[in-house]
Amino acid sequence: MIDADRAPLAAAMKAYAASGALAFHTPGHKQGLGAPPLLRELVTEQGLREEVSLAEELDDLHRPEGCLKEAQDRAARLWDADEAIFSVNGTTGAIHAMMTATLSSGDEVIVPRNIHRSVVGGLVLTGARPVYLTPEFDEMPGIAHGVTAESVRRALAAHPEAKAVVAVYPTYYGVASELRAIAAAAHEKGVPLLVDEAHGAHLRFSDALPPDALSCGADLVAQSTHKLLGAMTQASILFRKGGRVPAERVRRTASMLATTSPNYLLMASLDIARLQMEEEGEMRVGRAVRLAEELRTAINEVPGLWCFGRERMGRPGAEALDATKLTVNVSGLGLSGEEAMRLLRGKGIQAELADARNVLFIVSMADTKREAERLFLALKALSQENEGKGKEALLSVSTPPTLPSAVSPREAFFAAWESVPLSRAVGRIAAEEATFYPPGIPAVVPGEMITEEAVGYLVEMTRMGLKVTGPQDPSLSTFCVLK
C-alpha cells in the first residue's frame, strides 16, 4: 500500500479500491466491472478499480478538506507557494483560472506578444483588453525570446490603469527573461504578475537552471507538471503566493472553470509526481542538465548542426537558459526543421517540435545516458546523410508588424463574422488568430485591424512555407473578419 504520509491522495484511492465496497455510483464501468477489454488493457485492472470520484474519503476538488487538500498542500510546500490547486484541464485551464481571478471586462493587461493561445482564451473569457509587448528576437536561431523589464515599466507607465502583467517563463525553447525585475516593475505599480510557466515545473530542482517563477516573485503561476515531470498528460497545478490576488477569488474561479467530475487518476498522478520530485528531484533533474550539456557540446561538433547555449544569454529578453532544452539548428545541412524532424522520426527519434530552421528536443528527468546516446547517434547520421547535398539560404524570418486594436478579443469572438479573400481583409477587424512558427509571435489576434502591411506579412510567410496555426483556412487564401 502507498503510505498516506507520502502520497495522501494516491493512498486514499488505493484504500478505497481495496475496501471491497460494491459500487452503485459513477463511473459507469463500475471500477472496471463493465470495462471493455481494450480499456482494461489500456488503463489496467488496478487503475480502473481506483478510477472513482464520489466516495467521501476521496475528498472534493471543489471543496478539498481531506486527502486532496493534503496533496495540494504538499505540492504548495515543495514549490514554496501559499496554495496549490490541481488542474485536470492542463495549464490552459490554470491560465484561464488565474486570468479570470484577476481581470474583469474592460481591464487593461500587459501581455507579451508571444503568448500561448490559452492566454488569448483568457482574454476572451474575461473581456480584458491586452496591451501587447513585442518580445526580443534572436536572428541566429530565428526564434523569439522574452520581453524586457524596461518594456514592462514603459507599458505600465503608459497604461497606469492596467490590472496585471502576464509573462511567459521560460519560453518553449527554454529561454528565461529577467523575471525578478519584471515582478518588481509590476509590484511597484501595485499589480500582480501572472506567469505561464508551462515549461518550468522542473526549474526548482537544480541550481544550474534559471530560478522558478515563484522564486522570482510571481503572484500566480500556471505550471505544466505533466510536460517535464512525471504527471500524466493534462495534469497541471495553479500556484498562488502572496496576497495581491485574493485567495478566495482564485479558488472560486478555479472551481467555476473546472469540471465537476475530475479524473482522479490525473490528480493522483500529480500527487505521485510531487512525491517523486520530493524524494529524487535534485538527482533526476541534475542528471538531465548534465546529459543535455554533454549532448549540446557533442552536437556542436557535428558538421552542419548548431545548438545554442548559455553563450547567447545575457542579452535583452534572454537572461538565462534552461539547458535541458536542445534547439538544434539544421539549416547547415540544407534542411528545414520540418524535414529534419521527419527524417529523424524514420530513425526512431520523435522531436518535440520543428520550425523553419530548428528541431527542439527535451531532455527530462526520465532520460539516461542510453537515451542521450541514441539521440546523438541519430543526429550524427542525419549529418552524414545530408552534409554537402546543397545548402539552402537561411529563411529571413522577421517579427510581424504591430496592428491597431479595434475591439477586445472577447468582442471579436462573439461578433458575427465572415470569410473573405485575404486581399480583401485590409481595413477589416480580425475574427481569428494567425501565428507562424517561427517566430511564434501572433501575426494577427482577434479584434485587431488588419493592415496592408499585415496582409503582406501573411502572404510572405505563407510563400516561405512556414507553419501557421489559428486560421480556419491554413492556406490563408481566405481570412475570417467581423461583418
Distances in Å between the Cα of 196 and the Cα atoms of 30, 152, 378, 397, 456 are 37, 16, 33, 25, 31
Judgement on whether residues 249 and 307 belong to the same structural domain of the protein:
no
CATH number at residue 298: 3.90.1150.10
Average pLDDT over residues 195-212: 98
- List of long-range contacts for 1-4, beta carbons under 8 Å, 24+ apart: 4/67
Q: What is the mean pLDDT of residues 179-197?
A: 98
> For residue 353, is it left (φ>0), alpha (ψ between -120 and 50) or beta?
beta
Say which CATH number the domain at 136 has: 3.40.640.10
The percentage of the chain sitting over the pLDDT mark of 70, rounded to a whole number, equals 98
Are 171 and 244 part of one and the same domain?
yes
C-alpha 126/C-alpha 14 separation (Å) is 39
User: Phi/psi of residue 306, each to 5°?
Assistant: -150, 130
Are 42 and 61 part of one and the same domain? no
Per-residue pLDDT band for 440 (boundaries 50, 70, 90) equals confident
Please indicate, yes or no, if residue 372 is contained in any of the structural domains: yes
Each residue of 57-79: b (16+ CB within 10 Å) or e?
ebbbbeebeebbbbbbebbbebb
Question: Are 128 and 247 in the same domain?
Answer: yes
Answer whether 239's CB lies under 8 Å from 223's CB.
Answer: yes
Which pLDDT score is estimated for 397? 72
In a domain, 259, yes or no: yes
Which of 219, 246, 275 delimits the end of a domain? 275
pLDDT given at position 438: 74
Annotate 174-194 with b (16+ C-beta within 10 A) or e (fewer): bbbbbbbbbbbbbbeeebbbb
Q: 219 and 302: one domain?
A: no
pLDDT digits (tens, 9 = 90+) for 255-298: 999 999 999 999 999 999 999 999 999 999 999 999 999 999 99
Predicted pLDDT of residue 4: 66
Number of structural domains found in the chain: 4
Lowest mean pLDDT: which of 189-193, 414-418, 436-440, 473-477?
A: 436-440
**Residues 452-477 pLDDT 10s:** 999 999 999 888 777 899 999 999 99
Give the structural domain span for 126.
56-275
CA distances from 483 to 153, 391, 472 (A): 37, 46, 16
| 363 & 422 share domain | no
Q: Between β-strands 478-482 and 417-421, what pairing exists: parallel, antiparallel or unpaired?
A: antiparallel
Q: Are residues 104 and 220 both part of a single domain?
A: yes
Residue percentage of the chain with pLDDT more than 90: 87
**Are both 123 and 271 inside the same structural domain?**
yes
Per-residue pLDDT at 390? 61
Tell me the pLDDT tens digit for each residue of 89-108.
Answer: 999 999 999 999 999 999 99
214, 343: one domain: no
Mean pLDDT (whole number) for 219-247: 97
- Of 3 and 86, more confident: 86
d(C-alpha 462, C-alpha 474), whole Å: 9
Is 146:113 a contact under the CB 8 Å cutoff? no
Taking each helix axis as running N to C, give the angle between helix 337-345 and helix 369-386, from 0 to 180 degrees, rounded to the nearest 10.
120
More confident residue, 1 or 66: 66
Q: What is the reported pLDDT for 114? A: 92
**Other Cβ atoms closer than 10 A to 130:** 23
Question: Could you tell me the sign of the dihedral formed by the alpha carbons of 92, 97, 103, 105, in that order?
Answer: positive
For the purposes of burial, counting CB atoms within 10 Å of the CB of 40, is it exposed (0-12), middle (13-18) or buried (19 or more)?
middle
Does residue 220 contact residue 254 with C-beta atoms inside 8 Å?
no
**In a 3-state reduction of DSSP, which class is residue 238?**
strand
Structural domain includes residue 188: yes
| Strand, helix or coil for residue 204 | helix
| Cα separation, 320 vs 178, whole angstroms | 8
Residues with Cβ within 8 Å of 153's Cβ and at least 6 positions away in sequence, in order, are: 185
Domain containing residue 474: CATH number? 3.90.100.10
| Domain contains 304 | yes
pLDDT tens digits, one per residue of 131-144 = 999 999 998 888 89
Residues 6+ apart with CB under 8 A from 478: 419, 420, 421, 422, 472
In a domain, 396, yes or no: no
Q: Does residue 185 contact residue 152 with C-beta atoms inside 8 Å? A: yes
Confidence at 436, pLDDT banded by 50, 70, 90: confident
Instruction: Render 26-91 in DSSP notation, one character per residue.
Output: SSTTTTTTT--HHHHHHH-HHHHHH-----GGG--TTS--SHHHHHHHHHHHHTT-SEEEEESSHH
Q: What is the C-alpha to C-alpha distance for residues 364 and 205, in angstroms, rounded to an integer?
A: 12
Q: Which long-range contacts (C-beta less than 8 Å, at least 24 apart) are formed by 131-134?
A: 131/155, 131/158, 131/159, 131/162, 132/402, 132/445, 134/399, 134/402, 134/441
Assigned domain for 403 exists: no
Q: What is the pLDDT of residue 467?
A: 83
Q: What is the mean pLDDT of residues 162-171?
A: 98
Please identify, among 275, 308, 331, the residue that sits at the C-terminal boundary of a domain. Answer: 275
Is residue 63 domain-shared with residue 41, that is, in the same domain? no
Where a domain ends, among 50, 65, 84? 50
Residue 53, pLDDT score: 80
Task: Name which of 432, 460, 367 is nearest 120 in CA terms.
Answer: 432
Length of the chain: 483
User: Which stretches of 134-202 are assigned E, i.e. beta strand?
Assistant: 137-138, 143-144, 164-168, 175-176, 193-197
The whole-chain average pLDDT of the chain stands at 94
pLDDT-derived band at 336, boundaries 50, 70, 90: confident
Both 79 and 97 in one domain: the answer is yes
Q: Find the mean pLDDT for residues 60-71.
A: 95
Closest CA to 245 of 148, 104, 122: 104
Q: Is the pLDDT of residue 253 over 80?
A: yes
Residue range 338-347: average pLDDT? 95
**pLDDT of the residue at 191:** 98
pLDDT-derived band of residue 404, with 50, 70 and 90 as boundaries?
Answer: very high
User: Which residue, chain included where needed, has cell 536572428?
Assistant: 139
pLDDT digits (tens, 9 = 90+) for 363-387: 999 999 999 999 999 999 999 999 8
Residue 69 pLDDT greater than 90, yes or no: yes
Residue 401 domain-assigned (yes or no) = no
pLDDT tens string 306-319: 999 999 999 999 99
DSSP assignments along 403-433, one per residue: --B-S-HHHHHHS-EEEEEGGG-TTSBBSS-
SS3 content of the chain, % helix, strand, coil (to 5): 40, 15, 45
Check residue 141 and give its pLDDT: 87
Q: For position 149, what pLDDT does the model report?
A: 98
* DSSP category for residue 359: E
pLDDT at 225: 97
Q: Does some domain include residue 163?
A: yes
Same domain, 315 and 453: no
DSSP state of 121: H
